[in-house]
Chains A and B, each alone.
Chain A
């Protein structure tokens, strides 16, 4: 078939996927399958409505059996059932919610042919329009901007975790559409990796994991050898690794109950895992974790209890660093007493931990995934991360009985079976902003009948906007440009993250139109009121919000496209598999479960799937056949299915009927423990995605220049020699205090705001969902569900605050009204309130008054982690708290960040 003929045929047959999933009859309901950010589910449907949603019980008659691990004379095998996170268990309430965008809407006083009234965004209200009217307006605006300024003048970016599904999700349908239309992509900072990316990567590589470690086969290793696990900024019962619900809960139960493994927690917050498992809890003051890691290293150095042989052959720059730890170079020995003064943790207990650690087989659970952790998203995130790697190295990580392992990955499922994750590009084949280029794009597109949609604007040579500076870039004053170093999600080579950018990029026009997919930034990005200030700026001519719910910053859009949830469209996915920058992370699960995501119900109201919206708009723009290739969602899913290893086991038609597949355990799989190859000086043998051959010598060693763990980073040293000296990211792993520390003089309470438990970023919160009824998520006072702040009784008493009081948390950046929970979950001087609430509800003027939605990120600094590391640092923040008197606290707009703003 010729190209023209193919496209004509495609245009004729473009479909919308109206048909619903059939599922299995269960009494008077039908049981369908779907999946989510919190696990795969059975969905019971009756009369076109969802009646219930449950975890999946596996069926021994048809599903592959589970694995068994033998360790210390015991046998361990997991339950034959998947787990779900609470925001999945309550998902039905988000599908059927009055907060849904039910119809296409246009702001009443936004006239694309006349006055656009940007000052009224968030104020003037909406009128319902038809989809045809919406597509007409959009096509006209897109073509106007494109012909006036060029395609890079449309800025777009999605929320991090919008929905689930490898075809309909953002790396797939969204990128395919946007790349064909043309846009500047707002690059995401790696908001879960941060310190590992900007710091850890310079110490041990792992750029393809943004600095996080591999975790292969560590469950068996831990079950065989672990005597103690130190959880540091790690709360697996909250984050479940990522996307893996409570799959690993049973693993910790085996270790604690069957094997007597001791568990110590270091976190300013007495987190849910500490409460469930902890033999001991250390609560360092915010921003001081690395004082503890230095004191532990000091203890090992002075008592000679580290692995000297390993360090001699596996570390670079260790001796110079050790002299610094001992105080020989700066006059300050990093003793336990010194660490007590910095962190508030008793010196005797730090020393006791250091001694026990050296004596026992200890695994370091640094973060919740294998990497991550709130401490990496902080002013000391770079040095905390390097401290974790330093401690792991000093105890010979990779040997049996020592590793960095967060107890959330490492199950012995089959890593040879190929099924890609959501970040492997799906139907986009975008090899730049997704991981499509690793394997999948070459299996997905035959180059004859089906083609990828690569990007051509957000390339290293094209236009970029960093997500944390969207407000500054979109409102850039005339005669100015914005400059910065670094890109978050880039992992080809270590120095890629040091690349210098400017906006507008040379030869490019600035952005005039903003299309956001989801509306999460006020809750998830720092100094959130900046985003509101941006929406009121006349530089921004058109704001499009493609969103399922009317929440967050959606209220500031000119045009609202009502999208639907993944329960109202077709898709396909695997439990917890998001690889991409977390390769093979289905090893978090007890079973590899691949789900058909049935279209369970018709989209609510006039909402449509993102794919469907793109199809129709692409048709209007004259690029429909190139976008959809004549295929509806199910046809794309079939093409996707056939590009995986699934057809080896099951015909697509059978998969459509059964709805899910459990990947069998592969008895012939070679077990390869993470970093064992490194410890033993062998060629790397794990199924990991890196390092690339050119980053190693003979496949041995780490990705760093020296192939060793670099206590003095060669990549940062080279950068420094080029003149890029960064006081908060020195070449040597150093005790650097977070810059935010200065604010403590004015605001005495250190606030910790890690990723939340009862929502996944903004997914699950707000939306009038069931999660609002969880006592530890929000509490109702009067007519409003308030977000919670946790404080110690000592601090509460000093301020006349009692449990249940509404309080105003504030600093120079703004005010947030919260519900006070008083107790002992934080030490005096520290408060805790999760980031990422979905609601932004100003009490007075939008952007200029207190928010009672609960966006504590309004109070967190928007400043980059360090001069050349453009990550976020919300977990070092200082505030004051007082009883709320009901005022709106009109304080005016916040300041924009001026660092990096230079004359054009």
Chain B
């Protein structure tokens, strides 16, 4: 049957946190002196006012001033097909037919190990209710056709850039998009087969090398730059700032050669967990 997915494009996340705000708006208990206020969802316990981030937007800065960038990675529960929490929680964690993974509040009560079992850090422990909690993909809203017309989780509905989208489709469609390289799982090496999938994940997980090419002291546009390394070969022309930026690089050694209208330069670089700003290359 059709499965539910959240697709997150790292390219378009600019850390507004409207997703987190929408999530907290839906699930938090606002206990104040005049009495508790919270939405009544799926007969579950409310999220504490502070401290949980059921969708956590984490930042990664790459490079060094002024050839640097930032990627923001929203991480909710990944709704894994091979969910580590299901192994840790036994029958306290269930996977619906549509792919949504849910924690049963009664069966999970007191089970702190469940919170620790998630390799994505997406399960939080609610000390007040003594229960592990996490993103539900807003299952109660998706099931409420009359009360919730947008038909998508709150985080997706609040997203202003299109970074988050909600998809209901056959697994084969998603598998094809993964095979084509368009979509990827975060921490795919875990083999969890998540239902939250990312576009442009390299912005968060991989690295770049960049520099500005100068000829006679001025930025040189149109220099032919080539990078070669294991499994990666690419050619770019420098822009009007004389810059090239080779991105999505795995760790390893790379050879870079530059040809600025006959003036040539060759260098070797090693990417090791960090992006590189080579500064100006003066020819």
Question: Contact between A776 and B15 (Cβ–Cβ < 8 Å)?
Answer: yes
Candidates A27, A55, A253, A775; contact of B158 at CB < 8 Å = A55
Q: Which residue of A lies closest to B63 (CB)?
A: A824
Q: Which residue of A lies closest to B239 (CB)?
A: A279
Q: Which of A351-359, A544-552, A722-730 contacts B (4 or more CB under 8 A)?
A: A351-359
Question: Contact between A775 and B39 (Cβ–Cβ < 8 Å)?
Answer: no
Question: Contact between B24 and A93 (Cβ–Cβ < 8 Å)?
Answer: yes
Question: Contact between B65 and A93 (Cβ–Cβ < 8 Å)?
Answer: no
Q: Is B61 an interface residue (CB 8 A)?
A: yes
Question: Contact between B212 and A349 (Cβ–Cβ < 8 Å)?
Answer: yes
Q: Is B172 an interface residue (CB 8 A)?
A: no
Q: Which of B80-88, B141-149, B191-199 contacts A (4 or more CB under 8 A)?
A: B141-149
Residues of A with C-beta under 8 A to B38: 51
- Mask of B51-70 contacts with A, CB within 8 angstroms, 1/0: 10100111101011110111
A97 and B31 CA atoms in complex are apart in Å by 8
A150 and B38 CA atoms in complex are apart in Å by 50
A395 and B34 CA atoms in complex are apart in Å by 61
A294 and B278 CA atoms in complex are apart in Å by 29
Candidates B21, B150, B161, B214; contact of A57 at CB < 8 Å = B150
Question: Contact between B160 and A276 (Cβ–Cβ < 8 Å)?
Answer: no
- Mask of A332-376 contacts with B, CB within 8 angstroms, 1/0: 000000000000001011011101100000000000000000000
A509 and B240 CA atoms in complex are apart in Å by 64
A55 and B146 CA atoms in complex are apart in Å by 18
A102 CB to closest chain B CB (Å) equals 7
Question: Contact between A27 and B241 (Cβ–Cβ < 8 Å)?
Answer: no
By CB atoms of chain B within 10 A, which of A84, A93, A279, A757 has the most?
Answer: A93
| Total contacting residues, chain A, CB less than 8 A | 71
Residues of A with C-beta under 8 A to B157: 54-55
Question: Contact between A349 and B25 (Cβ–Cβ < 8 Å)?
Answer: no
Question: Contact between A824 and B25 (Cβ–Cβ < 8 Å)?
Answer: no
Q: Is B30 an interface residue (CB 8 A)?
A: yes
Question: Contact between B15 and A272 (Cβ–Cβ < 8 Å)?
Answer: yes
A590 CB to closest chain B CB (Å) equals 11
Residues of A with C-beta under 8 A to B18: 84-86, 89
- Mask of A755-769 contacts with B, CB within 8 angstroms, 1/0: 001100000000010
Residues of B with C-beta under 8 A to A352: 218-219, 221, 240-242
Question: Contact between B149 and A57 (Cβ–Cβ < 8 Å)?
Answer: yes
By CB atoms of chain B within 10 A, which of A27, A97, A283, A770 has the most?
Answer: A770
Question: Contact between A275 and B65 (Cβ–Cβ < 8 Å)?
Answer: no
Question: Contact between A773 and B26 (Cβ–Cβ < 8 Å)?
Answer: no
Question: Contact between A758 and B22 (Cβ–Cβ < 8 Å)?
Answer: no
Question: Contact between A246 and B16 (Cβ–Cβ < 8 Å)?
Answer: yes
A709 CB to closest chain B CB (Å) equals 28
A84 and B24 CA atoms in complex are apart in Å by 15
Q: Which residue of B lies closest to A79 (CB)?
A: B162
Candidates A270, A351, A777, A824; contact of B219 at CB < 8 Å = A351
Q: Is B201 an interface residue (CB 8 A)?
A: no
Residues of A with C-beta under 8 A to B214: 348
- Beta-carbon contacts under 8 Å, A41-59 to B: 46, 49-55, 57
Residues of A with C-beta under 8 A to B66: 281-283, 827
A100 and B221 CA atoms in complex are apart in Å by 58
A262 and B28 CA atoms in complex are apart in Å by 42
Residues of A with C-beta under 8 A to B59: 775-776
- Beta-carbon contacts under 8 Å, A265-290 to B: 270, 272-273, 275-276, 279-283
Q: Is B40 an interface residue (CB 8 A)?
A: yes
A817 and B17 CA atoms in complex are apart in Å by 25
Question: Contact between B21 and A52 (Cβ–Cβ < 8 Å)?
Answer: no
Candidates A92, A102, A776, A826; contact of B30 at CB < 8 Å = A92
Q: Is B109 an interface residue (CB 8 A)?
A: no
Residues of B with C-beta under 8 A to A777: 17
Candidates B24, B53, B147, B221; contact of A90 at CB < 8 Å = B24
A758 and B57 CA atoms in complex are apart in Å by 14
Residues of B with C-beta under 8 A to A90: 21, 24-25
Question: Contact between B160 and A49 (Cβ–Cβ < 8 Å)?
Answer: no
Question: Contact between B240 and A249 (Cβ–Cβ < 8 Å)?
Answer: no
- Mask of A776-815 contacts with B, CB within 8 angstroms, 1/0: 1100100000000000100000000000000000000000
- Mask of B223-249 contacts with A, CB within 8 angstroms, 1/0: 000000000000000011111000000
State the majority secondary structure of interface residues on A: mixed
Residues of A with C-beta under 8 A to B108: none
Residues of B with C-beta under 8 A to A50: 37
Question: Contact between B14 and A237 (Cβ–Cβ < 8 Å)?
Answer: yes
B36 CB to closest chain A CB (Å) equals 9
- Beta-carbon contacts under 8 Å, B1-48 to A: 12, 14-18, 20-22, 24-26, 28, 30, 32-34, 37-40
Residues of A with C-beta under 8 A to B69: 275
Candidates A280, A349, A827; contact of B65 at CB < 8 Å = A827
Residues of B with C-beta under 8 A to A97: 30, 32
Question: Contact between A280 and B241 (Cβ–Cβ < 8 Å)?
Answer: yes
Q: Is B79 an interface residue (CB 8 A)?
A: no
Residues of B with C-beta under 8 A to A86: 16-18, 21
Question: Contact between A283 and B65 (Cβ–Cβ < 8 Å)?
Answer: yes
A88 CB to closest chain B CB (Å) equals 8
A835 CB to closest chain B CB (Å) equals 19
A455 CB to closest chain B CB (Å) equals 38
Question: Contact between B212 and A98 (Cβ–Cβ < 8 Å)?
Answer: no
Q: Is B50 an interface residue (CB 8 A)?
A: yes
Question: Contact between B24 and A775 (Cβ–Cβ < 8 Å)?
Answer: no
A882 and B274 CA atoms in complex are apart in Å by 27
B134 CB to closest chain A CB (Å) equals 16
Residues of B with C-beta under 8 A to A102: 33-34
Question: Contact between B40 and A51 (Cβ–Cβ < 8 Å)?
Answer: yes
Q: Is A605 an interface residue (CB 8 A)?
A: yes
Residues of B with C-beta under 8 A to A768: 49-50
A273 and B38 CA atoms in complex are apart in Å by 34
Question: Contact between A280 and B30 (Cβ–Cβ < 8 Å)?
Answer: no
A627 and B266 CA atoms in complex are apart in Å by 79
- Beta-carbon contacts under 8 Å, B180-219 to A: 212, 214, 217-219
Q: Is A29 an interface residue (CB 8 A)?
A: yes
Q: Which residue of A lies closest to B21 (CB)?
A: A89
A600 CB to closest chain B CB (Å) equals 12
Residues of B with C-beta under 8 A to A824: 61, 63-65, 68
B51 CB to closest chain A CB (Å) equals 7
Q: Is A62 an interface residue (CB 8 A)?
A: no
Q: Is A650 an interface residue (CB 8 A)?
A: no
A273 and B161 CA atoms in complex are apart in Å by 12
Question: Contact between A773 and B24 (Cβ–Cβ < 8 Å)?
Answer: yes
Question: Contact between A93 and B49 (Cβ–Cβ < 8 Å)?
Answer: yes
A356 and B242 CA atoms in complex are apart in Å by 12
Question: Contact between A245 and B160 (Cβ–Cβ < 8 Å)?
Answer: yes
Candidates B20, B37, B217, B280; contact of A773 at CB < 8 Å = B20
Q: Which residue of A lies closest to B277 (CB)?
A: A824
By CB atoms of chain B within 10 A, which of A768, A771, A780, A824 has the most?
Answer: A824
- Beta-carbon contacts under 8 Å, A811-841 to B: 823-828
Name the 4 nearest CB pairs between A and B, nearest first. Answer: A27-B147, A246-B160, A89-B21, A96-B30
Q: Which residues of B contact A (CB under 8 A)?
A: 12, 14-18, 20-22, 24-26, 28, 30, 32-34, 37-40, 49-51, 53, 56-59, 61, 63-66, 68-70, 144, 146-150, 154, 157-158, 160-162, 212, 214, 217-219, 221, 239-243, 280
Q: Known A-B contacts: A280-B241, A823-B61. Give 8 more (CB < 8 A).
A: A51-B40, A52-B39, A90-B25, A92-B25, A273-B14, A348-B214, A775-B17, A824-B64
A selection of 25 A-B contacts at a CB cut-off of 8 Å is: A26-B146, A29-B147, A49-B37, A52-B39, A84-B160, A86-B18, A89-B22, A89-B25, A89-B158, A90-B21, A90-B24, A93-B25, A237-B16, A283-B66, A348-B217, A348-B219, A352-B240, A355-B240, A768-B50, A771-B21, A774-B57, A775-B17, A775-B56, A775-B59, A824-B63
Q: Which residues of A contact B (CB under 8 A)?
A: 26-29, 46, 49-55, 57, 83-86, 89-90, 92-93, 96-98, 100, 102, 237, 245-246, 249, 253, 262, 270, 272-273, 275-276, 279-283, 346, 348-349, 351-353, 355-356, 604-605, 757-758, 768, 770-777, 780, 792, 823-828
